[in-house]
Amino acid sequence: MAVHKKKDILRGRHMICLRDYSPEEINLIIEQAAELKSEQKNGIPHPYLEGKTLAMIFQKASTRTRVSFEVGIFQLGGSALYLSAQDLQMGRGEPIKDTARTLSRYSDGIMIRTFDQNEVEELARYASVPVINGLTDRFHPCQALSDLLTIREKKGFLKEVKLAYFGDGNNVTHSLLLACSGMGMHITVCTPPEYQPEGEILGWAQENARATGGKVELTADPAEAAQNADILYTDVWASMGQEAEQEQRKQKLKYYQVNRNLLEKASSGALIMHCLPAHREEEISEELMESYAPVIFEQAENRLHAQKALMMLIM
């Protein structure tokens, strides 16, 4: 049965955090993304959201999130409405719950990219249409979905694939922990002690791993983390809102750069992944960024396909 014949299974759901989705549901999104990607590459129109509108709230600047959602809803036959903090009364004191109830009357879905996870959760609590977390300081579920799609494309499967993450235990790390453990992968997070991921989220990932046969490990030793890894993954060391800590973070994280020395410890045929934007010669060497650009920019492209699948299934 074609995947999109199952589209009503997730209708009306929010995407706030991957913990809210079962492995089977995440796999459905990945399968749908692969199908939509194939249709697009073969020039097959797929206007499954014809006439629908996505309201997009941006409290943080964006390249990939804005373009991938806007292009994605257009390719699905719908339209997007870009709303910056300056465009909304929410930035002038209107309660989030009122914004949620208003936008629900005008649109078929709401995507928000903001700082505080609580804002997304409150928006979802009062909205009567699906709300998608486009990024917060705590989670980045859409990035993790595109990462799973990329890994499955490149490796052919997900279960027991070994991913090693290097750098800051940030929102991408948190969502990768939930995504990888939920799909039975082995994930090692390699950070200095002061930049480890949140203990609560680490605990959720360990619960997932016990149920799926995955593995979750934490280490401060890059050589240990890279040993026999199938994927070396990194992200910028200072996220938006942390610019004042840039120099301090560079000093603390300089030993966690993904470079040739780390790659030599990984498994044969290991991949390099980066969620972008990349600061070359900081978290990743220029050499590996360029050598693995085809994988990294396929990963970026897959934001489009994964988010199209998510919108189609929940809207």
DSSP 181-213: HHTT-EEEEE--GGGPPPHHHHHHHHHHHHHHT
At 112 the three-state DSSP class reads strand
Same domain, 102 and 155: no
The 10s digit of each residue's pLDDT in 136-160 is 999 999 999 999 999 999 999 999 9
CA angle 86, 102, 54 (to 5 degrees): 75
Same domain, 135 and 216: no
Same domain, 17 and 126: yes
Predicted pLDDT of residue 1: 36
The residue to which tokens 């089977």 are assigned? 24
User: Which one of 140, 174, 186, 305 is the catalytic residue?
Assistant: 140
Predicted pLDDT of residue 2: 52
Same domain, 268 and 155: yes
| Alpha-carbon span 61 to 250, nearest angstrom | 22
The residue to which tokens 């922990």 are assigned? 177
Same domain, 123 and 152: no
To the query of whether residue 274 is one of the catalytic residues in this protein, the response is: no
The token pair at 260 is: 């040739």
Q: Minimal CA–CA distance to 303: which of 168, 180, 145?
A: 145
Predicted pLDDT of residue 244: 79
Whether the Cβ atoms of residue 278 and residue 125 lie closer than 8 Å to each other: no
Predicted pLDDT of residue 187: 98
DSSP string, 27-53: HHHHHHHHHHHHHHHTT----TTTT-E
User: Which one of 249, 274, 303, 305 is the catalytic residue?
Assistant: 303
| Alpha-carbon span 144 to 139, nearest angstrom | 9
The 10s digit of each residue's pLDDT in 261-309 is 999 999 999 999 999 999 999 999 999 999 999 999 999 999 999 999 9
Q: Which domain holds residue 159?
A: 143-300
Predicted pLDDT of residue 86: 82
The token pair at 88 is: 């909304």
Provide block-wise average pLDDT over 10 residues at a time, the chain (315 residues): 64 98 98 98 97 96 95 98 84 86 98 97 98 98 98 98 98 98 98 97 98 98 98 92 84 97 98 97 98 98 98 98
To the query of whether residue 113 is one of the catalytic residues in this protein, the response is: yes
To the query of whether residue 303 is one of the catalytic residues in this protein, the response is: yes
Same domain, 292 and 161: yes
User: Which one of 14, 64, 113, 274 is the catalytic residue?
Assistant: 113
Total of domains in the chain: 2
To the query of whether residue 174 is one of the catalytic residues in this protein, the response is: no
User: Which one of 138, 147, 235, 307 is the catalytic residue?
Assistant: 235
To the query of whether residue 190 is one of the catalytic residues in this protein, the response is: no
Predicted pLDDT of residue 224: 98
Global pTM? Answer: 0.96
Cα 18 to the center of its chain, rounded Å: 9
Look up the CATH number of the domain holding residue 151.
3.40.50.1370
User: Which one of 59, 143, 299, 307 is the catalytic residue?
Assistant: 143
| Alpha-carbon span 32 to 13, nearest angstrom | 16
Same domain, 105 and 165: no
To the query of whether residue 168 is one of the catalytic residues in this protein, the response is: no
